[in-house]
Amino acid sequence: MEHAILRDDELDLLFEEIAEKYGYDFTLYSKASLKRRVSRICMMDKLYSFAELRYQLMHYPDYLQRFVEEITVNVTEMYRDPNFYKTLREDVLPQLATYPFIRIWIAGCATGEEVYSVAIMLQEANLYDRSLIYATDLNPTVLEKARNGVFSIRHMKQYSENYIISGGKKELSSYYMANYDVVKFHDKLKERVVFSTHNLVSDASFNEFQLIMCRNVLIYFEKELQHKVFNLFDNSLEKLGYLALGSKESIRFSSLENMYRKLGSDKIWRKLH
């Protein structure tokens, strides 16, 4: 386990400098997680002091990309919280089906496992050909992985079980080709996906959607930044559109609370006005 290498004031200073020099603003990220991530990358890269890390970041712009990728959490799963996907499949997709054209934004998609999960569900509901999924993340490297659609075979047993619980009627394996220790999902599943970098902290709304999914991203933000992002989502959602968050995230106590209605026990809200 990593001991804290940076003091809180050093961490603040470093992130102010990064925001100023590179435009990546982490100053309103949740400190508890950020501190762990910074300690972790310092251990991995053998940087044993604030000065060494700062020197590396300020003098080697290439290092920044690695730094950003490592301090953000890119852990994700297919059909994560399968019951959430069941609600999506049974309650949300039939509503989306009433639109001639369906636009979905998956914000903070990391390596894309949830993007392929949604694409498969849209196909099974016969909605895929008139849907467009915008899959965004601030890390170009993880987006590249998402675009490739190649995942370790190690997790497929778990993902298949999740898929079945979510109400999947086929075999998950019918959507990919296995090759040694990896699987590659069919290209068809990304034909209707636009992968693009987008930073929730600094980038604006870019379209209007009927469904925005942003799961286990807001937990890394302080409340102030969460409120800012909620407004961004609100500006990007059509009337009667859906906002889906991670299983422990909520719009409670935000300005959106009174303008949205929660769907049952899952973390899905519908915009009323």
Partner 1 sequence: MIKYDYRNIGILMIGGSAGSLKVLFDLLPDLDEDLGFPIIIVVHRKAAADSQLESVFEKHTKLKVLEIEDKMSLEPNTIYLAPADYHVLLETPTELALDYSEKLHYSRPSIDVTFQSGAEMFGERVVAMLLSGANHDGAQGLKYIQSVGGLVIIQDPETAEVDFMPREAIAKVTADCIIKPTEMAKFINKLAKTANNK
Which residues in this chain contact partner 1 in the complex, by CB under 8 A? Answer: 1, 3-4, 30-33, 35-37, 73, 75, 81, 83, 216, 218-220, 222-223, 226, 246-250
| Alpha-carbon span 82 to 136, nearest angstrom | 22
Amino acid identity for residue 140 in this structure = P
- H/E stretch holding 178: strand 176-179
- In the complex, what is the shortest distance from the CB of residue 223 to partner 1, in angstroms, rounded to a whole number? 6
Please identify, using beta-carbon distances, which residue of 69 and 249 lies nearer to partner 1: 249
- In the complex, what is the shortest distance from the CB of residue 103 to partner 1, in angstroms, rounded to a whole number? 26
Tell me the backbone φ, ψ of residue 41, rounded to 5 degrees. -70, -35
- In the complex, what is the shortest distance from the CB of residue 249 to partner 1, in angstroms, rounded to a whole number? 5
Amino acid identity for residue 266 in this structure = D
| Alpha-carbon span 243 to 262, nearest angstrom | 9
- In the complex, what is the shortest distance from the CB of residue 145 to partner 1, in angstroms, rounded to a whole number? 16
Say if residues 197 and 143 touch (Cβ distance below 8 Å): yes
185 three-class SS = strand
Please identify, using beta-carbon distances, which residue of 117 and 216 lies nearer to partner 1: 216
Please identify, using beta-carbon distances, which residue of 122 and 201 lies nearer to partner 1: 201
- In the complex, what is the shortest distance from the CB of residue 266 to partner 1, in angstroms, rounded to a whole number? 11
| Alpha-carbon span 250 to 40, nearest angstrom | 28
Please identify, using beta-carbon distances, which residue of 80 and 103 lies nearer to partner 1: 80
Please identify, using beta-carbon distances, which residue of 57 and 218 lies nearer to partner 1: 218
